Chain A
Amino acid sequence: LPVERVEGTIVAKLPAPKTILPREKPIPKPKPETKWQQYAKLKGIQNKKKARKVWDDEIKDWRPTWGYQSRVNDELNEWVLEVPANADPYEDQFGKAKKAKTERVAKNELQRMRNIARASKLKVPGVGLTPTDTPSKDHLSKALALAKKSTASVGKFTDSLPKEKPVKNTGKKRKFEPNVGDMSKEKSAQLDILSKMAKAGPTVDVTKAMKQHLLEEEQQRQKANSERPKKAKSIKKSIKRKQGKDTKRGGGGKGKRRGRK
């Protein structure tokens, strides 16, 4: 074998390997894709590599693009924060910024956990109702129902308020009629709905009623006009006024109806 000297010791140079050794461990399974990776693959978005450090002109030095000493966390280290024009002057802006940061971190953590849960195909319970600043009516009713249920005996002994309506459907699943149910029952139910609709009767159309009323008045006045030609001028005026009212109302009614159609 050829021999050479490396750093004082005599080393033999071995030839290149010819036999391929088999793998010790099996090929790693492909990692399950996260939600973003699936979307990026679908849309064909390529990952643009960002440089590790970015030149910062204010400090005149290189700063990391993300993480520990980057500009991302500068808002938290500010010694003065402006109060925006629409904010309460006594609000704690520093506390607000800190809270926003913790919320962002928590959200990121939640997304990460969701990705893992989706990958591991475990049954994860839903996150339920998250706290909001401005709860809607739907949100409040759900919160009330949950609060009633959240006792040791799962809401069996919680009393409801005197005029409180029972909860409609708490679960996610809606219940529908069976597909191949009793046909005659279905028919009778539909005919019931029809009869209820027919019973409600023709809705009184205010604009139509107004028009009819004005038309009748106009006809009466025209009759009076033909009997008493002396009062023609005043009647003409009143008819003109009435016609003006009529068209305005008619236009309003049209506008309303068109929106609905």
Chain B
Amino acid sequence: MRPLTEEETKTFFEKLSKYIGENIKLLIDRPDGTYCFRLHKDRVYYVMEETMKKAANISRENLVSFGTCFGKFTKSGKFRLHITALDFLAPYAKYKIWVKPSAEQQFLYGHHVMKSGLGRITENTPQYQGVIVYSMSDLPLGFGVAAKSTEDCRRVDPMTVVTFHQADIGEYIRSEDTLT
């Protein structure tokens, strides 16, 4: 377990800012407790200070997880966001996409969102912007990347992909063993 180095923090924040922009401040500076990011076996965990201190007493091979895993660093140094970060990123999301009930299942199985399944989209979403995918009942379903900007979304035909799938809550069942 160790804190992130400067480059690692930079990469990590860049990825986060794609989804929540400058609201990362609210994750770092929380009024209800000091939370910190820690790196363990290439995964970034967001954890309260006291829990972190207690977890530090467990040896590296035995420690599986602590706090919430936000994602992991790949072997080439890129950061990959996991679905377990959804609870913390959803309230601060800048760009949202609502998906119709008919297309919900498709997204939860890991497919992309077509225009036919698109319910609502926040205004002025730039293309390739990180978005949070919601169901029509405002339940966060996962992360995505906007394949088309809001204006483009209006013009394209219903079979084009409007959101690339990045992570969805169906992964809790599909990749149960790999999530920590």
Give residues 215-261 of A contacting B (CB, 8 Å): 257, 261
**A contact residues, total (Cβ < 8 Å):** 18
Q: Across the interface, do B14 and A180 meet the contact criterion of CB distance under 8 Å?
A: no
> Of A186, A193, A208, A257, which is within 8 A of B3 by CB?
A186
Q: Across the interface, do B25 and A186 meet the contact criterion of CB distance under 8 Å?
A: no
Output the nearest chain A residue to B130 by Cβ-Cβ distance: A261
A181 and B3 contact, Cβ closer than 8 Å, known pairs A186-B36, A197-B13: yes
Q: What is the distance, in angstroms, from B79's C-beta to the closest C-beta of chain A?
A: 13
Residues from chain A with a CB closer than 8 A to the CB of B164 are 261
Bound-state CA distance A186–B38 (Å) is 11
Which residues of B come within 8 Å of A, CB atoms? 1-3, 5-6, 9-10, 13-14, 17, 22, 24-25, 28-29, 34, 36-38, 49, 52-53, 56, 126-128, 145, 164
Query: Is the contact region of chain A dominated by helix, strand, or loop, or is it mixed?
Result: helix
Q: What is the distance, in angstroms, from B84's C-beta to the closest C-beta of chain A?
A: 20
Q: Across the interface, do A191 and B25 meet the contact criterion of CB distance under 8 Å?
A: yes
Q: Across the interface, do A194 and B3 meet the contact criterion of CB distance under 8 Å?
A: no
Q: Across the interface, do B22 and A177 meet the contact criterion of CB distance under 8 Å?
A: no
- The answer to whether A198 has its CB under 8 Å from any CB of chain B is yes
Residues from chain B with a CB closer than 8 A to the CB of A177 are 2-3, 5
Q: What is the distance, in angstroms, from A259's C-beta to the closest C-beta of chain B?
A: 11
Task: Give me 6 A-to-B residue pairs in the complex whose CB atoms sit less than 8 angstroms apart, sorted by A's number.
Answer: A177-B3, A179-B1, A179-B38, A189-B6, A193-B9, A197-B10
Residues from chain A with a CB closer than 8 A to the CB of B145 are 261
Bound-state CA distance A180–B25 (Å) is 21
Bound-state CA distance A179–B36 (Å) is 10
Residues from chain A with a CB closer than 8 A to the CB of B126 are 208
Residues from chain A with a CB closer than 8 A to the CB of B56 are 179-180
Bound-state CA distance A177–B56 (Å) is 14
- The answer to whether A187 has its CB under 8 Å from any CB of chain B is yes
Q: What is the distance, in angstroms, from B149's C-beta to the closest C-beta of chain A?
A: 10
Give residues 167-220 of A contacting B (CB, 8 Å): 176-177, 179-181, 183, 186-187, 189-191, 193-194, 197-198, 208
Bound-state CA distance A181–B36 (Å) is 11
Bound-state CA distance A186–B9 (Å) is 11
Q: Across the interface, do A183 and B36 meet the contact criterion of CB distance under 8 Å?
A: yes
